[in-house]
Structure 1
């Protein structure tokens, strides 16, 4: 092979590598910033709250059914529950981008959406202060509003820090049992790695359940062993069949310290477990409900 041909081949290889590198860079950018930010679908209540908090709600054309705050979000078309999505339903609104909270599903539907021609940005979720700040920054970057996102992140971070200090002086921490459901007399409770565990910790409480992650059914013996001081449940509203369930009607719960004291806290589910900009207020309200005037307000 002549030196000229060898040189041409080498130059071709270099050019190919450069093209692939550029394509890779563009693909990576596509994962973090929408090229067209005019028609966005938001999947996940906290994501929608952040978009509104950034003042970018005009970009939204649809939301999922967990996106119920602020009230203005309810005017947007609903593409379904974030864990029971239909690709056809999401794509039917002709979005230019999809912002979805991690754990949206089912997996098969999300896989289809990720392979579609519409850019899909997945926003990770961790149930702590850092996770909230990271979500704000990721959403801001996706919408091209980095400066506004940084300002919001700084404001929320300061409020989170103040909220977490509310219970600094309390030495005897309340043991809190979060019950997701009591249907059929079966106790579905929260372990670690859950939004309930995260908010209990931030509000100065201790999750009464140890030894498992996620939400699992408790035996009566496990409920008694947990020895909760307080039962925490979602206020689901009067339209929900489980809205008026009395946890203390359950014999095992009635026998706990919480049952004997009739200590029950109900809070709006999205407000309590959303881990968005309003979580600073939720921490405050839960801390006050747990400790009353001992909270350093």
Structure 2
């Protein structure tokens, strides 16, 4: 039986579907670096902050500093209270006018936001600006929390949150430590035109698969690429992982069963197709341990230690 974890809201589904093309175009873009220490100090004093990046918004809330937020980008979907904030657009298609037009006195942005020219405009504006690094592992999440905490001037809160998140992630990883035969996972970003756009290494998908105790079947390239039918058949995934964008999943699964290559994989033959909310699955923020546990249970069922 196909497993759905958890059901995405309609508005989330639309956002993630529309973002796919922009995300791929931005993968090779240069990543902006943080401004000087003076800028970070300026953000620490800010009372009207724009958060760009879903995990950045989530961390601000987790630190109890949400009262200082005046806007978020369209990936800032958690916690639900964040949806009440104005939306300044998708993180990889930022309009400087949308950001500066609401008169912020501080900007926190996730590494990789763009386009680069828009980020340069924001960095040159007379508003303190700080970039939060993005890496897809436990250390990367803890570094995010530290940087956001430092930028907001709440280092003690950040240290406490980091300790809690680290313990949660360590427990999630330990839950699959005793499993010898690791399940092979294929993450498919989209199936446009019947082509499987899949995750290689150095992606959030690769990171969450590893954290859940799985093996990414695609290790020959970094980033996302369309797979040939031969590559899909050779990969032989035990499970196919996708973002839940809403829609008719039964029809989508039927398309996979009719696909000449996917139909030959154990995943499709056993109906082992898992869809999870994109922000939850790939956000690499405070909820990532929970996402890893959910994915591990989908992979190994009762073999996962609680």
Q: TM-score range by the shorter chain?
A: 0.7 to 0.9
Q: Are the aligned partners of 2:45 and 2:153 in contact in 1 as well (CA < 8 Å)?
A: no
Aligned positions, number:
270
1:138 to 142, 147, 150: 147
State yes or no: 1:164 paired with 2:173: yes
1:276 to 285, 288, 298: 285
**TM-score scaled by length of structure 1:** 0.88
Higher relative contact order (CA 8 A, sep 6+): 2
Partner of 2:22: none
Structure 1, unpaired ranges of 5+: 1-25
Q: CA deviation at 1:135?
A: 0.4
Structure 2, unpaired ranges of 5+: 1-34
Partner of 1:236: 245
Partner of 1:245: 252
Q: Residue deviations 1:106-142, cap 9 Å, x none? A: 1111111111111111101100000001101110111
Q: Are the aligned partners of 1:177 and 1:232 in contact in 2 as well (CA < 8 Å)?
A: yes
Q: Which protein has the larger Cα radius of gyration, Structure 1 or Structure 2?
A: 1
Partner of 2:31: none
1:212 to 210, 214, 221: 221
Q: Distance in 2 between matches of 1:134 and 1:254?
A: 41
Q: Distance in 2 between matches of 1:68 and 1:244?
A: 27
Per the alignment, in what secondary structure is the counterpart of residue 51 of structure 1? helix
Partner of 1:123: 132
Q: List aligned pairs for 1:86-125, cutoff 5 A.
A: 86-125=95-134
Q: Are the aligned partners of 1:80 and 1:86 in contact in 2 as well (CA < 8 Å)?
A: yes
Q: Are the aligned partners of 2:44 and 2:150 in contact in 1 as well (CA < 8 Å)?
A: no
Q: CA deviation at 1:264?
A: 0.7
Q: Distance in 2 between matches of 1:227 and 1:101?
A: 35
Q: Are the aligned partners of 1:32 and 1:138 in contact in 2 as well (CA < 8 Å)?
A: no
**TM-score scaled by length of structure 2:** 0.85
Q: Distance in 2 between matches of 1:206 and 1:27?
A: 39
Q: List aligned pairs for 1:1-297, cutoff 5 A.
A: 27-31=36-40, 34-238=43-247, 245-246=252-253, 247-297=256-306
Q: Distance in 2 between matches of 1:204 and 1:218?
A: 23
Q: CA deviation at 1:227?
A: 1.1
Q: Distance in 1 between matches of 2:173 and 2:55?
A: 20
Q: CA deviation at 1:257?
A: 1.6
Partner of 2:17: none
Q: Are the aligned partners of 1:237 and 1:243 in contact in 2 as well (CA < 8 Å)?
A: no
Q: Are the aligned partners of 2:42 and 2:106 in contact in 1 as well (CA < 8 Å)?
A: no
C-alpha RMSD of the superposition? 1.6
Partner of 2:27: none
Q: CA deviation at 1:234?
A: 0.8
State the 4+ residue runs in structure 1 displaced beyond 3 angstroms.
241-244
CA gap of 1:162–1:251, structure 2 versus 1, over 3 A, is same
Q: CA deviation at 1:237?
A: 2.2
